[in-house]
Structure 1
């Protein structure tokens, strides 16, 4: 499963840090939306959102966040229950947070660089 994220977003980078710390099975890979990996994905929607690619399926906004958290397994699979909330409601909350993320969590000048220990999780 590939998680595409806004590489200059403070909140998005914290979400990635959270996922990396809880992915001991190496089920996830990460790439910034500004990078070569994202640019190489055909039919990638032009959204200002986390995008999770799982095989041929692309999950965006709240669906992407739920898919990534659910893939962690264990208690994190509980987040799949949020899929029962109607998508328009989930996405309205997601979009509200997304529209304010730079103000609340900051914006970096450049994309996140993985540490040496994290490099196997990240694609260009």
Structure 2
């Protein structure tokens, strides 16, 4: 269930939404950014690395630790989703194959949270490092909020 924005969109984003805020150094998140670019036919979902001033300010706005790149945040239509719920909502909005992520919602919330935490904390060891900002696709780079 999304968390309603307490006071509208975080000021650092100037009303820019929908936006996915994720770790720019994670290979799994870099893959996620490429999937957003490929599956979001509307071209409206923007991507903001948490390592940027905007990303860190948005995390702080929602009471999340900006120095902890374990978090995913998705903002759209005056609501905020985090972690697995953010990934599922992005997939739902992208449509097509992205909707398969909704299958994760059959898991109870505590199990989703536990699973997300395990993957997030071990993602560099499992998937390695990647660089969202270093991706060569000009269309994907246009989605980035730096």
TM-score tier by shorter-chain length is: 0.7 to 0.9
Task: List alignment gaps of at least 5 residues for structure 2.
Answer: 1-17
The alpha-carbon deviation at position 112 of structure 1 amounts to 2.1
Structure 1 runs of 4+ with >6 Å offset: none
Deviations 1:6-29 (A, max 9, x none): 011111111111121111211311
Q: CA RMSD in A?
A: 2.1
Task: List alignment gaps of at least 5 residues for structure 1.
Answer: none
Q: Residue 51 in 1 paired to residue 69 in 2?
A: no
1:3 to 9, 20, 24: 20
Q: Distance in 2 between matches of 1:78 and 1:11?
A: 17
Q: Could you state the TM-score of these two structures normalised by the residue count of structure 1?
A: 0.84
Contact between 2:33 and 2:132, CA under 8 Å: does it hold in 1?
A: no
Deviations 1:80-117 (A, max 9, x none): 34324211111111111111100011125x66235323
Q: Could you state the TM-score of these two structures normalised by the residue count of structure 2?
A: 0.73
Contact between 1:27 and 1:72, CA under 8 Å: does it hold in 2?
A: no
Q: Distance in 1 between matches of 2:81 and 2:103?
A: 16
Give matches, 1:98-109, under 5 Å.
98-108=120-130
Q: SS of the counterpart of 1:8? A: coil
